Structure 1
Amino acid sequence: MNCTQKPDSIQKRIIELEQELIDLRRDFHMYPELGFQEFRTAEKIENYLQKLGYETIRMAKTGVVTILDSGRPGPVLMLRADMDALPITQNNEKDYKSRNEGVMHACGHDAHMAMLLVAARVLIENKTSLNGKIKFVFQPNEEIAGAIHMIEEGVLENPKVDAVMGIHVWTPIDSGKIAITPGPVMGGLDVFKITIHGKGGHTGLPEDAIDPIIAAANLIQTSQIIQTREISNLKATVIMFGKIKGGTKSNIIPDKVELEGSIRFLYPGGPDSEEKPTQRFIRVAEQVCATHLCRCDINITHENIPLINHKEMTALARETAIEIFPSENQIIDNQTIASEDFSEFSEKVPGVFIFLGTGNEAIGTNLSHHHPKFDIDETILPKGVEMFVRGALHFFEKANRLSFLKQK
C-alpha cells in the first residue's frame, strides 16, 4: 500500500501479530537444528498449525506440509519456508542466542518459518477470499538440497501444485527494500572433491618423489582460466576452492592431497549447458595432474540447479509489493551466485523467489549470511508476512490472466 493509504484489515491483523511473529522467530533461533534433524522445529510448526485448525503431514522425515482448502474450485499455490540451521557456533550475546552448541540459524530460515506460520494464520482467517488451495510447505535440509527429497515424496502432487512462492531475508539488501527479479536470480551449484595421488618422499630428494602439492597448487590456479578465458564474462561462473588437506610434516612430501570446492553458475542448464563448466573443470584437473605425473580421483555432487524466476509470477509479486512498500524505489532487482534449492520447485512449476532486505548497519544486521554474528532486522518481518498473504490473495484474484493456468 502507498504512504497515503490507511492500514487495511490485513495489515492491521499482521501488526497485531507482530510480537507473536518475533517470538516465533526467536524461539526457532534459540533451538536450531541441522538438516533432517529438525525434530523440535517440526513439532513446534505442527502444534502451531494444528491449533489453527490445519491438518499436518510429515514428509522427507522432518518436513511439514498442510493445505488450506477454500472449498471452491481454483488453482493450487504452494508457499515454502526452509527449516534447517548451520553447523556454526554463534558469536554474539543476544537474549535469543542459540542454546544448541555448534548449531546456529545463520541464514535466516528461522525468520522464514515464522513469517510463513503467521501468514498461514492470517490466510485461514481470510479463507472466504480464496478460490482454490494453498499448500504450506516447511522444508528440511535446504543447505544440502533437501527440496528434491520432498519432490520425490510427492509434495508437488495431491493436489497438484500450479505455482510456488518463496521469500528469503537478505542482509546484503537494506532494510525496507525488496528484490523481485525475473529470470536467473540464484546460481546453480556443483560441489567437487578431488584426491591427487603422487608418490611420497623426502623434501631433500624431490626427484625421487612425485609431488601432489605442486600439482594441487597448479590446479587451483589453472582452473581459473575456465571462468576468465573459456566462458563469457556475461555468463557468471565461479570456481572456488574451500579446503586443502595434505601432508604431515615439513620435510615429508605426501603421497596425496585432497581438495574440495564448488562450481557456481548463473545460467540455465548449468553442467548440461553449452558452457559445461563442470566438464571443463574435470578436463583441466585431469590434464594438470597428468602434467605433474600424478593421477586424480574426482567426485562431483550436483547440489542445486540455477533458480530462475517465472516472468508472470515475478510480475504478480512486483504488483503485490507496490501495495506494501511506500515507494516503488524500494522494489529493486537482485541476482546472486549463491544457490538455493527452491530452484528444484521452480523448475517444475512456475515460481517466484523474493529477497526481503534486512541489512541495517546501525543495529549490526548487515553481516553476510553464514557469519557467526549473523542477525536480522526483525522490524521487516511483518512485510514478509504481508508479501505471503497478499501474494496469495493476488494469485487467486488474477489467476484468469496467467497463461500457464489457461493452458491447463
Structure 2
Amino acid sequence: MRIDPDLLAEASTWRQSFHAQPELGFAEHNTSARVAELLQGFGLKVHRGLGGTGVVGTLERGDGLVIGLRADMDALPIQELGQCAHRSRHEGRMHACGHDGHTAMLLAAARHLSGLDTFRGTVHFIFQPAEENLGGARKMIEDGLFQRFPMDAVYGLHNWPGLPAGQVAVNPGAMMASLDTFEITLTGQGCHAAMPERGADPIMAGAQLITALQSIVSRRLSPLDSAVVSITQLSAGEAINVIPEKALLRGTVRCLQTPVRERVQQLIGELAEQVPAPFGVRGELAYQVGYPVTENHPDAAAGLFRAAVAVLGEANVRWGCPPSMASEDFAFMLQACPGAYFWLGVDGETPSRALHNPWYDFNDQVIEAGVKVWTELVEQSLPRR
C-alpha cells in the first residue's frame, strides 16, 4: 500500500501545529475547528458539538456496513520541558500523551480514504474530546453518538512507548485496566498530642487501614486475578501538637476483569468500616466508578490483526500482548458497540519518552504506519465495489 509522501508531510505539519497549540479536555475549540475545516475540505459530511467539542466526519460510499475510527484531541496540564521547534506555546499545557499524533493520523486516513472508491459502506471519523480523566467518550455517547451514527464496529488506537516504531499490538480481550477512585473519611476524636488516651486517633487508624487495603490484592484475591490498589493521598491535622479529629485517604483501583473490580470495591467498603472501629474511629467510603476495562471484542480484534499484518507484515504485529494497568475511556465505546483498540509502537533508534512525561514528543515517523492500518482496516471491513 502506498500513501502519498506529500500527504504524510502534511500530516506531520498538522501534528506539530496541534502540538504547539494544546488545549485541555472539553476546551479543544481551536483544535476541533481545525479538524472540522480539514474534514470539510476532504469532502466529508461534518458534525460538530457531540461531547461539547467533539467532531464526526462521515465518508459515505453507498449502502453497506458502517464502522467508526476514533482519535482523541485533548492535551494535559503539564509544563513542556522539551525544546523542539513546535513546543507548546501555552504555559502549563502540552501534548504529553500523543493525542496530537492520533488526530493527525486519523485526518490523514480520512484524506486518503476520501480519494478511494474501492469499498462500499460508511466510515465515521470520530474526534473525541477529554480522554484524560474527564470521560469525553462517555459524554459523546450520552450526546447520542451511536444513535445518530449507528455503527457495526468502532476502533481506536494509542501510540505506545516501549514498542518499536511502526509495530502494532492487539489482544482478543483486555488491553487496559478499569479505573475507579475512592475517598475514605476517618472520624475520631481530637485531643492534645501529649494525652492520646483522651481521644480517638484517626491517623493511627489510617495507618492500619492503608496496610489492610494493600492486603486485598495479596491475600483476598486469587494470584490469577489482576488488580492494583494504590493510596495516593493522606491528609490530616493542622497543628504539630494536636491529634486531629479527621483524616482523609484517597486512592485508585485498577482491574482487568469486571468481577474482580466489583469484588475489590466490596472489600474496600468492608475494610473502611471494620479496621478503624477498634480505634474508636468511624470510616466512611465514597467510591467513584470510573473508566471500565478496555476490552476488545474477539472478532473485531482478529479483523484488526489481519489488517495490520497485511500492511506491516506478521513480524510487526503482536497478538496476545500483556495488558496495561493504565486506563482509557475508549472503553465506554467498546461497551456500547463491538470493536477493538490497539497500540502503535513509537520507539525509534532512541526510545520514546514515557507518556505523560514533560519531555515527550510524538514520533512522526509512525504516521505512515497508522494511516496504512486505518486504510486497510476500512478496506477489509467494508465490501469491495
TM-score exceeds 0.5: yes
Distance 1:330-1:133 versus aligned 2 partners, 3 A rule: closer
**Deviation for aligned residue 1:292:** 2.2
Which residue matches 2:315? Answer: 328
Choose from 304, 326, 345 the match for 2:333.
345
Q: Distance in 2 between matches of 1:97 and 1:197?
A: 47
The alignment status of 1:246 with 2:231, answered yes or no, reads no
Which residue matches 1:318? Answer: 305
Secondary structure of the structure 2 residue equivalent to 1:134: strand
Choose from 136, 140, 148 the match for 1:158.
148
Choose from 18, 22, 37 the match for 1:28.
18
Which residue matches 1:392? Answer: 378
Which amino acid is 1:238 matched to?
A: V
The alignment status of 1:142 with 2:131, answered yes or no, reads yes
Which residue matches 2:120? Answer: 131
The alignment status of 1:79 with 2:66, answered yes or no, reads no
**Deviation for aligned residue 1:297:** 2.9
Which residue matches 1:5? Answer: none
Which amino acid is 1:77 matched to?
A: I
CA offsets, 1:24-76, max 9 Å, x none?
A: 11111111111111111111111111122223222111111121111x21111
**Deviation for aligned residue 1:327:** 4.6
**Deviation for aligned residue 1:86:** 1.5
Kept in 2, the 8 Å contact 1:269–1:305? The answer is: no
Matches within 5 A, 1:50-199: 50-57=40-47, 58-70=49-61, 72-126=62-116, 128-143=117-132, 144-199=134-189
Distance 1:12-1:359 versus aligned 2 partners, 3 A rule: closer
Q: Distance in 2 between matches of 1:153 and 1:131?
A: 28
CA offsets, 1:2-26, max 9 Å, x none?
A: xxxxxx4xx232x331221111111
Q: Distance in 2 between matches of 1:203 and 1:310?
A: 57
Q: Distance in 1 between matches of 2:19 and 2:206?
A: 40
Which residue matches 1:287? Answer: 274
Distance 1:279-1:376 versus aligned 2 partners, 3 A rule: same
**Deviation for aligned residue 1:176:** 3.3
Secondary structure of the structure 1 residue equivalent to 2:288: strand
Identity %: 35
**Deviation for aligned residue 1:348:** 2.1
The alignment status of 1:217 with 2:204, answered yes or no, reads no
Q: Alignment RMSD, CA only?
A: 1.8
**Deviation for aligned residue 1:156:** 0.9
Kept in 2, the 8 Å contact 1:189–1:305? The answer is: yes
Which residue matches 2:359? Answer: 373
Q: Distance in 2 between matches of 1:359 and 1:196?
A: 45
Secondary structure of the structure 2 residue equivalent to 1:32: coil
Which amino acid is 1:220 matched to?
A: I
Secondary structure of the structure 1 residue equivalent to 2:158: strand
**Deviation for aligned residue 1:269:** 4.5
Q: Distance in 2 between matches of 1:292 and 1:175?
A: 55
**Normalising by the residue count of structure 1, what TM-score does the alignment of the two structures yield?**
0.89
Which amino acid is 1:231 matched to?
A: L
Which residue matches 1:49? Answer: 39
How many residues are aligned here?
A: 382
Choose from 251, 257, 261 the match for 2:251.
261
Q: Please, which runs of 5 or more residues in structure 1 have no aligned partner?
A: 1-7, 399-408
Kept in 1, the 8 Å contact 2:309–2:316? The answer is: no
Q: Distance in 1 between matches of 2:46 and 2:98?
A: 23
Kept in 2, the 8 Å contact 1:179–1:334? The answer is: no
Which residue matches 1:404? Answer: none
Kept in 1, the 8 Å contact 2:187–2:283? The answer is: yes
Q: Please, which runs of 5 or more residues in structure 2 have no aligned partner?
A: none
